[in-house]
Amino acid sequence: MELIPAIDLIAGRTVRLTQGDYGQTKIYDSEPVDMARRYADCGVRRLHIVDLDGAKAKAPCNLRTLEKVVTATGLDVEWGGGIKDSVAMQQAIDAGASRVICGSVAVDNPELFAQWLQEYGASRIILGADVRDGRVATHGWLKDGGVGVEELVETFLPYNLSQLICTDISRDGMLQGPNLPLYEQLQQRFPTVDVTLSGGVSSMDDLERARECGVRAAIIGKAIYEGRITLKEIEKWLLNE
């Protein structure tokens, strides 16, 4: 199982939200590029970066930080936040994103998302599904997208969708453990799609249980910044893998 550390950005700084609430923003001292270097040094290959300013503005806002991270580390960066049209998609790729995460646009404009899967290839385009009670929420989790996560995935299977990041909104930033049955069910139902767990990881024990459930990748954010999971533990995991 691949471990993917997360960096959330506001004004070029590393932050974490609780359940996606901008009113519950905690700013960390770690400069994004320095943090990315530390991840690379312990063997991490892939980094999850969310442009929270971009998500709010509906257009990328921190692409310069993306460029700096990629130049400094060479990491495989999956980038999300504000990807609403083809201009934003190309900007993210030009800035160095290896993969681009698309959430609301996949619900609001499925034809465009399907086009991107075919134009850029399924290896570069990730479906981001933020889920509350099994239903996908959009627009900063404020709007019910009117579709279930499984139905959304099925929509794009004919276009060779191969990557899904599913965030359980109720667990995000809470450090109370992930909703493992959700991810186990999704991975079993969609074996051709690599399902990434997001939300709730609080310890290495959570990650061990996720691996036992067949989860292929997990995003770790707040647990690292709050000292629940150390870089040494991540390095040991990666060496054992």
pLDDT in tens, 80-119: 999 999 999 999 999 999 999 999 999 999 999 999 999 9
Query: Domain 2-240 has what CATH class?
Result: alpha beta
Task: Check if 8 is active-site.
Answer: yes
Q: Which of 47-61, 104-118, 126-140 has the lowest mean pLDDT?
A: 126-140
Q: Which residue has the higher pLDDT, 75 or 16?
A: 75
Q: Inform me whether the pLDDT recorded for 21 exceeds 70.
A: no
Domain boundaries, the chain: 2-240
Q: What's the whole-number mean pLDDT along residues 189-194? A: 98
| Three-class SS of the chain | CEEEEEEEEECCEEEEEECCEEEEEEECCCCHHHHHHHHHHCCCCEEEEEEHHHHHHCCCCCHHHHHHHHHHHCCEEEEECCCCCHHHHHHHHHCCCCEEEECHHHHHCHHHHHHHHHHHCCCCEEEEEEEECCEEEECCCCEEEEEEHHHHHHHHHHHCCCEEEEEECCCCCCCCCCCHHHHHHHHHHCCCCEEEEECCCCCHHHHHHHHHCCCCEEEECHHHHCCCCCHHHHHHHHHHC
pLDDT band of 137, cuts 50, 70, 90: confident
Q: Report the pLDDT value the prediction gives residue 12, as an integer from 0 to 100.
A: 87
Q: What is the pTM of this model?
A: 0.93
Q: Report the pLDDT value the prediction gives residue 142, as an integer from 0 to 100.
A: 60
Q: Report the pLDDT value the prediction gives residue 113, as an integer from 0 to 100.
A: 98
Q: What's the whole-number mean pLDDT along residues 222-227? A: 92
The one catalytic residue in 51, 130, 168, 172 is 130
Q: Report the pLDDT value the prediction gives residue 17, as an integer from 0 to 100.
A: 63
Task: Check if 41 is active-site.
Answer: no
Averaged pLDDT of the chain: 91
